[in-house]
């Protein structure tokens, strides 16, 4: 019943969000057409619900063929593949807003694990691959909040980016996504949505562990 009601609210709020966001979309589209590589949208295969592949919508923020350049699917702080307008869109999270289309089509929800590229998904253990997308991927989620500055973690690590992601980020990200599946409900989803907005405005205030005190902690 929870999943059916959640899907209903996803459709309702995604429709409202799409209408409200149109005045923001228009100037962003114009800026992207006039700058960088003049690409507006970025479509990419991602792993979704029950491990089904779908095409995600994003505003273009990186150079064409960026997955075949530099660190591949890893993005570091001040990554040279990011365009000038793309840097602002990524920091403000505006680049993720077109995913309301994915929510309307049923590929995504407002809250859930972030959908990974296949190469990133394959770094999970087989056990985690079988579990992590037992819920629809989300526009935001507990993993998105805990790893809201994933690029900085990778950049500051003494490990190579691929190794840092595999040994430091991914095991903990899997743990918090399993926590979400065990605690999913309207209260959890509402708090995650509010926390997402909170961290856009106050990125340095670590409120998530106060709201969810039983959330697994990352090893220091």
pLDDT in tens, 162-203: 888 888 888 999 999 999 999 999 999 999 999 999 988 888
Plot region of 187 (φ>0 → left; ψ -120 to 50 → alpha; else → beta): alpha
Q: The dihedral of CA 181, 51, 154, 141: what is its sign?
A: negative
* Model confidence pLDDT, tens digit, residues 118-147: 998 999 999 999 999 999 999 999 999 998
Mean pLDDT for the chain?
Answer: 89
How much is the pTM?
Answer: 0.84
How many percent of the chain have pLDDT more than 90?
Answer: 61
Q: How far apart are CA 47 and CA 208, in angstroms?
A: 26
Residue 48: band (very low, low, confident or very high) from pLDDT cuts 50, 70, 90:
very high
Instruction: Report the distance separating Cα 99 and Cα 40, nearest Å.
Output: 14
> Residue 131 and residue 187: Cα distance in Å, rounded?
22
pLDDT for the residue numbered 37: 76
pLDDT of res. 61 = 87
The larger pLDDT score, comparing residue 217 to residue 58, is at 58
């Amino acid at each position: 019943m929870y999943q059916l009601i959640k899907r209903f609210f996803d459709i309702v709020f995604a429709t409202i969000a799409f209408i409200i966001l149109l005045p923001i979309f228009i100037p962003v589209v114009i800026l992207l057409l006039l700058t960088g590589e003049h690409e507006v949208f970025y479509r990419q295969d991602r792993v979704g619900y029950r491990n089904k592949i779908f095409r995600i919508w994003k505003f273009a923020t990186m150079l064409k063929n960026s997955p075949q350049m530099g660190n591949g699917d890893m993005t570091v702080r001040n990554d040279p593949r990011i365009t000038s307008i793309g840097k602002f869109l990524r920091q403000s999270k505006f680049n993720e807003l077109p995913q309301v289309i994915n929510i309307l089509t049923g590929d995504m929800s407002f809250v859930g694990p972030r959908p990974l590229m296949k190469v990133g998904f394959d770094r999970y253990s087989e056990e985690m691959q079988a579990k992590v997308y037992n819920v629809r991927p989300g526009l935001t989620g507990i993993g998105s909040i805990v790893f809201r500055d994933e690029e900085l973690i990778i950049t500051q690590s003494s490990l190579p980016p691929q190794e840092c992601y595999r040994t430091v980020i991914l095991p903990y990200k899997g743990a918090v996504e399993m926590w979400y599946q065990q605690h999913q409900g309207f209260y959890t989803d509402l708090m995650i949505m509010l926390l997402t907005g909170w961290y856009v405005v106050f990125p340095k205030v670590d409120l998530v562990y106060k709201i969810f005190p039983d959330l697994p902690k990352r090893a220091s």
